[in-house]
Amino acid sequence: MNYRQQFAEEIYTHLQGLSKVEEINALIEEPKYNTHGDLAFPCFTLAKKLKKAPQQIAKELSTKIDASFLEKTVAEGPYVNGFLNKQIVSKQVIQRINTEKENYGSSAAGAGKKVTLDFSSPNIAKPFSMGHLRSTVIGNALANISEKYGYKAIRINHLGDWGTQFGKLITAYKQWGSEEKVRENPIKELFHLYVMFHEQAEKHPHLEDEARFWFKQLESGNEEALQLWKWFREESLKEFAKIYELLGIIFDSYDGEAFYNDKMDGIVQELKDKDLLSLSDGAEVVNLAAENMPPCLIKKKDGATLYATRDLAAAVYRSRTYHFEKSFYIVGQEQRLHFEQLFLVLQKMSYNWAASLQHVPFGFILKDGKKMSTRKGKVVLLEDVIKEAIDLAYQNIKTKNPELENKEEVAKMVGVGAIIFHDLKNERQNNIEFNLDEMLKFEGSTGLYVQYTHARACSILRKAPAKNNIAVSGLTDSYSWTVIKTLMDFPNVIEKSFQQAEPSVIAKYVLKLSQDFNKYYGQIKILADDTEQSSRLALVKSVAIVLKEGLRLLGVKAPEKL
């Protein structure tokens, strides 16, 4: 059903080996205007080979092409434009989607291969803030898209459960903490202590020295430091579990930074053995001056390790454990240099698989145009936001459809879906402004608009008369054809989304399909009792299937009633 490929093959048969099919396929585009057809091949590259003007080549080619899936072929200046046969193509598309159902658009491109995805990674003893939302939902969507593309996805939550912040937290707890208060409300109290440390350290710099001392104690295995660390970690994981359950996200691994403590000496030794380490102001570094980059810090003067050491150990461990084909790091764009250095050092260590590592950066979530900062205590808690979104959705449902069954369950689908979709409809490298009211609108580019369109399609199908074994014929009206062409594009959208590591491609697609379907719904009497009724209903079912699957890939549920 790849008509683009078939069009390329048809052109190829009339070029007597002058170009490869792949070259022709790569040049085929969609005409800017519907009146110019569905496929267009520019003849400029053939001019030199055939020693003819592109317009003449287009004219000659258009008269030779003859295929059943094409209604006609015309020359439009230097282009050969193909018009798909609406009757044949629409029937094939509808039948395929109704047969394959949620498997429509799946690919075997990644079959038998694994992809690891490092995402979410909240910090222990800090609240799960809106700042962690982007990595979490982008990573989950990319895992779903990878699976749709045929890969086995391994979801890794590389917890921030180690580092100098624990020296600060232990210092703050010993200075001002209360065991009773921490047990009563762990995250809130630990976060309060963390913020207090930074406020006090500005007035009393010696606190920074004490924090460094306690982190060194933690690295050395001091019993008091380790017990506090384990306690902070366990309490945090309980809180995080609530958020992941609300978002419907699961992980295959929670191996955080601490997991690699016993694996870093081996990395440092390997760097020494491969003659990659050098000294710089007492610190051990990998020099990257030849690549116009600052040195990659491996060990500080005091012997403490750094993020790079840990991430090198993590990458090597994951390669040996999972044997991945690709590895995504879904981490904010401010860490770009860190990952460029990390991948370069792994290449210098002669790991061929380093070429398959990919940093997937993204912009900030802004509140009133400003970046949220955990350190200064200006933070919006994700759990509060999700609960507020669910509550708002529930109030909306009570007002607009008080008779709806399972209102609480639907409100959760809508509220959570609104937050996820608002994030993923934006290209990931853009900053996004947080606005809950905008997210929960029925109109415009919202998750609720797509969910509502899906529910509308399901409602039509419930009203449809029960008929068995009715043959589907092709649909040729312009409104149907617009929907068919969009449905036809779904497999390409999956591929593009995976190749670009860009979930917004799918979010924008389901918005477009919703818009096309709503225009169709507004113009065509779908339930009119005539010979095309069963074909129209099969088209409606196709839309419901693809919208539900598109939303699923983004991590959004699709209620059948709203």
The candidate with the shortest Cα–Cα distance to 348, out of 407, 270, 462, is: 270
Q: Is residue 74 part of a domain?
A: yes
Return the beta strands (E) in 217-334 as ranges: 277-280, 283-286, 296-299, 326-329
Residue 344 lies in a domain: no
Q: pLDDT grade, residue 250 (50/70/90)?
A: very high
What tokens were used for 212? 């460094």
Per the listing, tokens 């022709």 go with: 24
Q: What tokens were used for 336?
A: 């770009």
pLDDT higher than 90, residue 454: yes
pLDDT at position 465, please?
86
pLDDT over 90 for what percent of the chain? 81
Q: Which residues contact 341 (CB under 8 A, 6 or more apart)?
A: 286, 288, 293, 294, 296, 308
Q: Identify residue 356 by its one-letter amino acid code.
A: S
Between 499 and 442, whose confidence is greater? 499
CATH number at 23 reads: 3.30.1360.70
**DSSP tag of 108:** -
Over residues 536-559, the pLDDT tens digits come to: 999 999 999 999 999 999 999 999
Query: Is 429 inside a domain boundary?
Result: yes
Where a domain ends, among 15, 49, 84?
84
Minimum mean pLDDT among 10-14, 184-188, 418-422, 486-490: which range? 184-188
What's the rounded Cα separation, in Å, for the pair 425 and 439? 11
Q: What is the mean pLDDT of residues 54-83?
A: 96
> Domain boundary at 35, 60, 84, which?
84
Residue 76 clears pLDDT 80, i.e. is over it? yes
User: 110 in a domain, yes or no?
Assistant: no
407-424 and 223-247 are packed helices; what angle lies between their axes, rounded to 10 degrees?
110
Closest CA to 77 of 32, 127, 24: 32
Question: Helix crossing, 533-554 with 478-488: angle to 10°?
Answer: 40
Sign of the alpha-carbon torsion through 387, 365, 419, 331: negative
189 assigned to some structural domain: no
DSSP label of 469: S
* Nearest residue to 385 via CA among 339, 416, 341, 428: 416
Provide, rounded to the nearest whole percent, the portion of the chain with pLDDT above 70.
98
pLDDT level of residue 393 (50, 70, 90 thresholds): very high
- CA dist 562 and 193 (Å) reads 44
CATH of the domain at 444: 1.10.730.10
Angstrom CA distances, 266 to 307, 311, 312, 347, 438, stand at 15, 13, 10, 17, 51
- The tens digit of pLDDT for each residue in 303-356 reads 767 889 999 999 999 999 999 999 999 999 999 999 999 999 999 999 999 999
Give tens-digit pLDDT for 284-307: 999 999 999 999 999 988 776 788
Task: Tell me: pLDDT of 244 over 90.
Answer: yes
The CA distances from residue 385 to 246, 419, 420, 435, 438, in Å, are 11, 9, 12, 10, 14
Burial per residue of 361-373, b for 16 or more beta-carbon CB atoms within 10 angstroms, e otherwise: bbbbbebeeeebe
**Contacts by 333-338 with C-beta closer than 8 Å and gap 24+?**
333/361, 333/362, 333/363, 333/429, 335/359, 335/361, 336/361, 337/293, 337/294, 338/307, 338/308, 338/311
Specify the pairing of strand 365-367 against strand 370-371: antiparallel
- What would the two tokens of residue 294 be? 């600052």
Judge whether 524 and 477 are in contact, CB under 8 Å.
Answer: yes
Range name among 187-201, 437-451, 485-499 with the lowest pLDDT average: 437-451
Integer Cα distance of 413 and 247 in angstroms:
9
pLDDT tops 70 at residue 372:
no
- pTM (2 d.p.): 0.92
- SS3 of 374, please? coil
Cβ atoms 417, 557 nearer than 8 A = yes
Residue 188: band (very low, low, confident or very high) from pLDDT cuts 50, 70, 90? confident
Q: Is residue 547 part of a domain?
A: yes
pLDDT of amino acid 313: 97
Tally of domains in the chain: 2
Residue 450 has pLDDT above 60, yes or no: yes
Does 480 fall in a domain? yes
First to last CA, the chain: 34
Q: Is residue 395 part of a domain?
A: yes
Task: Give the structural domain span for 449.
Answer: 382-554
pLDDT at 376: 54
Domain boundary among 28, 61, 84: 84
Task: Give the mean model confidence (pLDDT) for residues 458-470.
Answer: 84
DSSP character at residue 466:
-
- In this structure, what token pair is assigned to residue 208? 């920074």
The pLDDT value recorded for residue 83 is 97
- Which residue is associated with the tokens 């039948």? 95
AA identity, residue 401: N
Instruction: Please report the pLDDT score of residue 164 as a whole number.
Output: 85
Element (H, E) at 541: helix 533-554
**Predicted confidence band at 16 (pLDDT cuts at 50, 70, 90)?**
confident
Report the chain's mean pLDDT, rounded to a whole number: 93
Helix (H) or strand (E) holding 413: helix 407-424
Closest C-alpha to 522, from 449, 445, 453: 453
Q: What contacts 315, CB < 8 A, 6 or more positions away?
A: 327, 342, 346, 351, 354, 357
